[in-house]
Structures are given as C-alpha cells and as structure tokens.
Amino acid sequence: MVIVKGKRTFRIVQLIILIYILFEIIYNERYLKSETPVPGVIRVTLKAPDNLEIPPYCNGATMCTFWGANEILYPSDSAGYAFVTTRASARNYPNPLGCNSLRTTSPSDPCFFKPTNNNVTILPTSYIGDDDRAFYKGEVTSIAIRNGLMTGTLYYSDGKTVYATRTNASRMKENPRADGGIFTVQDLLTASSADLDAPSTAPGANKTAGETYRLSGIVIIHYQNVRLKKHDIVYSYLPRVIDGNEYKVTENIHNSTDGSITLIDRHGIRFVFQQHGLIGVFDFVTLLTKFVAESPELIVEIIMLRFVPEKEVYREVKFDEIPQRRGEYNV
C-alpha cells in the first residue's frame, strides 16, 4: 500500500491560508473600489454655556475675566482650525500727536508703530473663566452631504475607545437647529487626554514657575475619518495632543477714535482639523485582483494539482511517497 506523506497536513495548511486571505479581504474591505472624497470646508463656531460658573483655577494668583464666545474664539469664524483663548492680556499704546500709524511711508517714519514702554495696561494677565465648558460646533460644508446628517463618533486618543457618539436623532433632541457635530471644549480636551492645568512641556514654558498649558497654550490635531458601511456614510473624530507645543496669537486693534493701538496677547488651544478617508463601492474586478495578489502561490498550486493535463506528474514531483508497512499508521 502506498500513501502520500504529509498530504493531509498540506491540505490543512492550504485551508488555513485560504481562510486568512478571505478574512483579510473582507475585514479590511479590499473588495471595494475606493477613491478619496472631495474634502469639505470645516467651519467652527463657539457657544457659551447658558450659566457661567467660576471655576477653581480662578481662585489662584492669576485672576479670571469672562468673555463672550466671539471674544474667546479667534478669529470668530475660521475654517479648518479653531483657536480658543485660555489666557489673555491687553495693552493700549497711545498715538503720538499728529501721527497716523496706518499711513507711514517707511520704517524710519516717526509715526511707524513700535511697542514701547509708553502704554497702559487695560487687561493684566488673566485666565478666561469657564471657557472649557463652551460648546464647540464643527460643520462640514459639502455639495454631497453634510455631517449633520451622518452618525459621528468621538474617540479617545488611542483611536479605539469611544468617548461619545452623535447621531442625527441625538443632535435634534439636544438642539433642533443643529447642523453639525456639537461638543464642549472639555469633551475634546478629555478625549485627547489634555489637561490645561498640567505643567506645560513646551520648550518656551517657564517650568520653574510651574507654567501650565492654560498659560502657555496647546495644539491639538483633530482627525476626521470617513468610511463606507453599506449605504450609511459615517465619520469619526480622533483628537490628539502635539506634545511640547504652545500656541499664542497677538491681536492688533487700531482704534479709529483716537488713533491708539491695542495689542491683545492671547494664549490658548489651537484645534487643527484634517480630513482623511475613502469612499468605495463593491467591485468584482477589484475583489478578483486583490485575491490573486494576496494568494498567487495558492492559486498556482490549485491549478497545477487539479486542472492542468499534467496534474498527475506534478503530484508525483510535489509529494514524497513512502511505502507503509503492515501494522504502521500514518499520522
């Protein structure tokens, strides 16, 4: 009696490989013919909470001032990013007699504006009170579909744990006029594991004085991933902190009444939005291409062993045949 040594093991290995390839194609949606969607423009607005509270950090050495949503968000209507002020100071520089700083002819002109010691502090360094409870609303404007009609998920920075989910129904329940994803600033900070009262890791931060992110500012990258699930297009938010960064903006205001200039020094949270993702549909040619690309050796083996006229010759070369003695069992 003659048997083929290892033939059963070979078939089992082939089956395992085939199952793995099918799992890889199905799980990673390699059967889809996909393309990158045209990104929409992300507009960001801010809404103050209905009832302002005095947070604990206002009871320290640095005083607090309370601003409206338009003053906290700078600029008040931005696209692709948002800057939320957490600390500010302001100084006013009087206009020299007979000067117009907007019409200087050269840098050597005596009316050319340069910050000097001749200024009046109109706002000492202050925290912005209760700004982390303000509501952030992001709206993607697109010709095809806006995110107010899609299900959105906010993840923690690990990209796996869900922090919150927003559906069209939940948005309408919270705010019937909602046309985009609505979260509080604290939601985004918590999801990105950012603590404004933690010591700042920025190189320019005063670590000896214990400068915090609330003082120095922080940068958070905010990802949006779009994925196709049957007929439902969904998206997700994945916020992450860029470690070792601070962010500040100096706002220059020219006062037309007296010609003076006010400089507002702002530190805070900069949210940067990046859109990524693919949109795809099932395509048999794509499926066949991926399957052949993932398993060329397996396909060749099956064809050579089953379909070609010389399949018997190939089997003899492929497998070692040994005689089996009486009383012996092949494993």
Helix, strand or coil for residue 307? Answer: coil
Other CB atoms within 10 A of residue 270 CB: 19
pTM above 0.75, yes or no: no
- Cβ atoms of 91 and 122 within 8 Å: the answer is yes
By 3-state DSSP, what share of the chain in percent is helix, strand and coil, each rounded to 5? Answer: 25, 35, 40
The per-residue pLDDT string of the chain (331 residues; one tens digit each, 9 = 90 and over) reads 334 455 667 677 778 877 888 888 787 777 777 777 666 667 777 877 878 888 888 888 888 999 988 888 888 777 778 888 999 999 999 988 888 888 888 888 888 888 888 889 999 999 988 777 665 555 544 433 444 555 777 888 777 787 777 776 665 566 665 556 667 788 888 888 888 888 888 877 888 888 888 877 776 665 554 454 555 566 677 777 877 778 889 999 999 888 899 999 999 988 887 777 777 777 788 777 877 777 777 777 777 777 777 777 776 666 665 555 555 545 4
> Mapping DSSP to helix (H, G, I), strand (E, B) and coil, where does residue 183 land?
strand
> Sign of torsion, CA 7 9 10 11?
positive
Instruction: Kindly tell me the burial class for residue 103, based on how many C-beta atoms sit within 10 Å of its own C-beta (0-12, 13-18, 19 or more).
Output: exposed
- Extract the tokens encoding 104: 């200087």
What is the C-alpha to C-alpha distance for residues 21 and 295, in angstroms, rounded to an integer? 7
